[in-house]
Amino acid sequence: MTEHPDDQLADGELDEADQVILRGLRATWTALDPPPAGLAERLRFGLMMDAMEAELASLTRLEPALAGVRSGALAGSTVTFTHRDFSAIVRTATGAGETVSIEGWVTAAPATGVELVLDADPPRRAVVDDTGHFQFDDVRRGLVRFTFHRPGSSVIVTPAMEV
């Protein structure tokens, strides 16, 4: 069987003409079908999770209570994160302006601390008290996730939730 000339090109190094074609393809696809917002951050988080060998908690949203009888406005949102012998209840309340307050309780297993991660902001850390309570005030709205640190156990990371 004779070798086709294109086979030699396919096995060769990329040259400047190839780079020009690839840049044009990238520009076309970026314009026609851009990657979703936050994709790079989610990929970095996924890689970080793999590196940490952290365990991911599952999320259960509880029905929020109504703030007023006829208004239909919501007083806040409560979610529960669970993983094996660990659970955490997190409640959000509207704060001043564009911020919210977040408080939570760790149940079923002790945690020494919790980190709140919001977008590209540096993580905020809170200490879990003897009753399992923790709190973050003046949290700007956006996607957040929590990382729970437990003595002698793996780190537990929650899925992202909108606040």
Tell me whether residue 37 is in a domain. Answer: no
Tell me whether residue 2 is in a domain. Answer: no
Tell me whether residue 86 is in a domain. Answer: yes
Most confident of the following: 26-30, 105-109, 150-154: 26-30
> For the residues of 91-145, what is the DSSP string, one character each?
EEEE-STTEEEEEEEEESS--SEEEEEETTSPPEEEE--TTSEEEEEEEESSEEE
Averaged confidence pLDDT in the chain: 78
Number of domains observed in the structure of the chain: 1
Rounded mean pLDDT of 109-119? 81
Q: Which of 141, 59, 148, 53 is nearest to 97 (CA)?
A: 141
Tell me whether residue 131 is in a domain. Answer: yes
Tell me whether residue 41 is in a domain. Answer: no
Give the model's confidence band at 36: pLDDT under 50 very low, under 70 low, under 90 confident, else very high: confident
Q: Please give the pLDDT value at position 38.
A: 80
Among 41-45, 100-104, 142-146, name the one with the lowest average pLDDT: 41-45
60 membership: H or E segment, kind and range: strand 58-62
The C-alpha atoms of residue 161 and residue 149 are separated, in whole angstroms, by: 19
Tell me whether residue 23 is in a domain. Answer: no
**Domain containing 64 — which CATH number?**
2.60.40.10
Most confident of the following: 40-44, 51-55, 109-113: 40-44
Residue 154 has pLDDT above 60, yes or no: yes
Q: Which residues pair with 140 in a beta bridge?
A: 99
Tell me whether residue 28 is in a domain. Answer: no
Residue 124 has pLDDT above 50, yes or no: yes
Can you give the residue range of the structural domain that contains 121?
Answer: 48-162
Tell me whether residue 136 is in a domain. Answer: yes
Residue 15 has pLDDT above 80, yes or no: yes
Give the model's confidence band at 49: pLDDT under 50 very low, under 70 low, under 90 confident, else very high: low
pLDDT tens profile 65-97? 433 333 333 346 888 888 877 888 899 987 667
Angle subtended at Cα 110 by Cα 108 and Cα 111, rounded to the nearest 5 degrees: 125
Give the model's confidence band at 125: pLDDT under 50 very low, under 70 low, under 90 confident, else very high: very high
